[in-house]
């Protein structure tokens, strides 16, 4: 019982950065831009959030700094791919290399490579604490509650039910038609990439501000790439993407707990760590066959 409660709590906790990242990437891709800058954006969000919270003592200011960095990263991606029509794969990889480099450079300048700095992690909020042992599943950080109860439904509502969401999807499916109908294609994509960037950066900041309370190198460890895969797995739907994030996180959390069990302890720990990545690839191979990509995926739009 304790094992199960602990596993479910860890699943929700570890899914949180993936939920922010997957929702953010879904917005970018639904507007027709594959944002491979996600790994770097999460990294920069994690660092900016941590450094600001460390300097000011306020995790909320750290969160704000991450949002600003995410908006900026999204704007750079939009400048390159929307305004200049540059190749999306290369732009995204370049953004990731640049943002990781910039974060590590600044980290070095501020902390001089000295000992690991810690901040007070964000508080845990549990409205179900009265439920006894089972209630421990809901011992979660505020950012986790916000992810599942605010960000996911609001992002879904905006994308599927609002006129902005309609325009965003139209721009991603058929920019010519959207343009002809009076939608500003460039502005819509800028907004999608900036909102998406802010969400990705918050996902990264969750790791430093809540999960760890510190910043270490290689802190994102491929979570951004996992989000890109989850978007395809979820076929560009927010709900399915979140389910994918939960499944990934369940496997991730399970392998950590399996290591303690006798019999599994003999397996190399790295093999188990690799398992979630391999499961994502297998899931793509099974579910991702001939999926319908957004109509304008990877295509720059140029008004004639």
Partner 1 sequence: MRARMRRRMRSRFRLSPWSTPVLVLAAILITFAITAGPILLAGANPIEAYYLFVIAPLTSGFTAIEVLVTATPILFTGAAVAIAFRAGYWNIGAEGQLLLGAIAAAGVGMVVGGWQPIAALAAMIVAGALAGAAWALVPAILRIRFGIDEVVTTLLLNPVALLLVNGLLHGPWRDPVTGFPESPRIAAVAEFPQLLERSRLHLGFLLAIAVIVIAWYVLARTPAGLRLRAAGLSPHGARFAGINVGRTLLAAALVSGAIAGLAGVSEVAGIQNRLTSGLSPGYGYTGIVVATLGTLTMPGVALAALFLGDLTVGASTAARSLSIPSQLGAVVQGVLLLTTVALLALRRYRLRPTRPEEGGSESAADVAAEVQPG
Contacting positions for partner 1 (CB under 8 A) = 34, 36, 40, 76, 80, 84-91, 93-102, 104-105, 107-109, 175-176, 221-222, 225-226, 228-229, 232, 268-271, 273-274, 277-278, 280-281, 284-285, 288-291, 293, 296, 298-304
> Toward partner 1, which CB reaches closer, 26 or 91?
91
Specify whether the CB–CB gap between 77 and 95 falls below 8 A.
yes
Alpha carbon distance, N-terminus to C-terminus of the chain: 63
Neighbours of 84 (CB within 10 A): 11
In DSSP terms, 124 is beta-bridged to 141
> Toward partner 1, which CB reaches closer, 237 or 299?
299
> Toward partner 1, which CB reaches closer, 1 or 292?
292
Distance, in Å, from the CA atom of 229 to the CA atom of 18, rounded to the nearest integer, reads 11
Residues 6 or more apart whose Cβ sits within 8 Å of residue 136: 5, 6, 9, 126
How many CA atoms lie less than 13 Å away from 26 in the CB half-sphere? 29
> Toward partner 1, which CB reaches closer, 166 or 273?
273
Compute the least distance from the CB of residue 149 to partner 1, in Å: 29
> Toward partner 1, which CB reaches closer, 120 or 176?
176
Compute the least distance from the CB of residue 276 to partner 1, in Å: 10
Compute the least distance from the CB of residue 52 to partner 1, in Å: 16
> Toward partner 1, which CB reaches closer, 13 or 189?
189
Compute the least distance from the CB of residue 39 to partner 1, in Å: 8
**Is residue 105 exposed (0-12), middle (13-18) or buried (19+ Cβ within 10 Å)?**
exposed
Compute the least distance from the CB of residue 179 to partner 1, in Å: 8
Compute the least distance from the CB of residue 222 to partner 1, in Å: 4
> Toward partner 1, which CB reaches closer, 38 or 159?
38
Distance, in Å, from the CA atom of 230 to the CA atom of 281, rounded to the nearest integer, reads 10
Helix axes of 38-56 and 185-206: crossing angle, nearest 10 degrees:
60
> Toward partner 1, which CB reaches closer, 131 or 217?
217
Compute the least distance from the CB of residue 66 to partner 1, in Å: 19
Compute the least distance from the CB of residue 128 to partner 1, in Å: 35
Tell me the DSSP string of 136-176. Answer: GGG-EEHHHHHIIIIIHHHHHHHHHHSHHHHHHHHHHH-HH
Residues 6 or more apart whose Cβ sits within 8 Å of residue 35: 24, 25, 28, 29, 41, 74, 77, 88, 92, 193, 196, 197
Q: Pick the closest to residue 189 from 173, 204, 203, 200 (CA basis).
A: 173
């Amino acid at each position: 019982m304790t094992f199960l409660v602990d596993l479910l709590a860890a699943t929700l906790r570890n899914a949180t950065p993936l939920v922010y990242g997957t929702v953010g990437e879904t917005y970018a891709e639904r507007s027709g831009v594959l944002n491979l800058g996600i790994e770097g954006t999460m990294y920069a969000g994690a660092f900016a959030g941590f450094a600001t919270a460390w300097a000011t003592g306020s995790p909320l200011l750290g969160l704000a700094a991450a949002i600003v960095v995410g908006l900026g990263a999204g704007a750079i991606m939009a400048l390159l791919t929307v305004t200049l029509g540059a190749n999306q794969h290369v732009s995204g990889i370049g953004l990731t290399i640049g943002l990781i480099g910039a974060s590590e450079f600044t980290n070095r300048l501020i902390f001089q490579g000295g000992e690991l700095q810690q901040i007070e992690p964000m508080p845990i909020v549990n409205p179900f604490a009265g439920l006894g042992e089972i209630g421990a599943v809901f011992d979660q950080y505020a950012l986790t509650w916000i992810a599942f109860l605010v960000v996911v439904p609001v992002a879904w509502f905006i994308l599927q039910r609002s006129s902005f969401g309609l325009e965003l999807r139209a721009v991603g499916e058929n920019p010519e038609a959207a343009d002809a109908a009076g939608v500003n294609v460039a502005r819509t994509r800028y907004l999608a990439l900036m909102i998406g960037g802010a969400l990705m950066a918050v996902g990264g900041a969750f790791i430093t501000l809540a999960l760890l309370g510190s910043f270490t190198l290689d802190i994102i460890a491929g979570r951004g790439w996992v989000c890109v895969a989850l978007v395809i797995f979820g076929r560009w739907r927010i709900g399915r993407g979140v389910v994918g994030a939960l499944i990934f996180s369940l496997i991730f959390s399970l392998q950590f707990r399996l290591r303690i069990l006798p019999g599994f302890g003999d397996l190399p720990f790295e093999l188990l760590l690799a398992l979630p990545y391999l499961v994502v690839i297998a899931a793509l191979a099974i579910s991702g066959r001939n999926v319908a990509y957004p109509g304008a995926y990877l295509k720059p739009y140029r008004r004639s």
